[in-house]
Amino acid sequence: MSTFVLIHGAWHGGWCWDKVAILVSQQGHKVYAPDLPGHGDDLTPVARVTLEAYVERALEVLDRRAEPVVLAGHSMGGIVISQAAERRPDSIRALVYVSAFLLKDGQTLLQMAEPDREALVLPNLDLSDDQSSATVKPGALREAFYGDCSEEDFERAKSLLGPQATAPLATPVQITPGNFGRIPRVYVECLQDRAISPSVQREMYKVTGCDQVFSLDCSHSPFFSMPQALVDCLLVAAQFEHQRMG
């Protein structure tokens, strides 16, 4: 039995993993999908939402587990799991990046996202007056995030999305080869993605290096459109780590 900790991306909450969590649990594994500060049911004010706050939330979950976990992050969640891995390398058996930002040391999410001319997120942002948070224009949501998702899943997601604090997006990731670098990494690329273009996903996993790459022919949200295929990737990642340890 393995334990999976699933970290959501920007604007979302732990709710986005519901289908995946059910399928993984049915296989006899443990699953935790926390809300990051300021997301889902967490009411942390935007002014207090930082990358460090995100990482601390992930570490709270890791520190309550007796055994190392498979830590997965979607989209923005990639910077959270990278930073958590730097802080708790012995608590993580494998890292799984689901169409996620896999950054180099010292790099920010915005530095990777801004040159991505095929992506639809940054051109469709509405910033708050003080620029501390942002939302995505309603008319761009489906094409950016949910292109191949059912209408039911899209409507549910649209009703649950919240503002995204901008501070974490501009905070550099700080990682080292001795901590982050020694944990096996798996990347799940999404070939129809319009939030992080496939070419940028490919650039990240080639530059930083991953032990295995899975390709899903889907949009940015495989937890909705291809949950079983995504679960299969997670389960293979857990098995892959068993093989490395052996």
148 and 172 in contact (C-beta within 8 Å)?
no
189 forms bridges with which residues in the sheet? Answer: 215
User: What is the rounded distance in angstroms from the CA atom of residue 128 to the CA atom of residue 177?
Assistant: 37
What's the pLDDT at 244? 43
Residue 42: how many CA atoms within 13 Å on its side-chain side? Answer: 22
What's the pLDDT at 241? 53
User: What is the rounded distance in angstroms from the CA atom of residue 123 to the CA atom of residue 140?
Assistant: 10
95 and 185 in contact (C-beta within 8 Å)?
yes
What's the pLDDT at 239? 83
DSSP 190: E
200 and 119 in contact (C-beta within 8 Å)?
yes
185-222: b (≥16 Cβ within 10 Å) or e: bbbbbbeebbbbbbebbeebbeebebebbbebebbbbb
Domain 3-245 sits in CATH 3.40.50.1820: yes
The domain spans of the chain are 3-245
Mean pLDDT, consecutive 10-residue stretches, the chain (246 aa), reads: 97 98 97 98 96 98 95 98 97 97 98 97 97 98 98 98 98 97 96 98 97 97 98 90 42
Residue 86 tokens, joined: 């730097």
What's the pLDDT at 242? 40
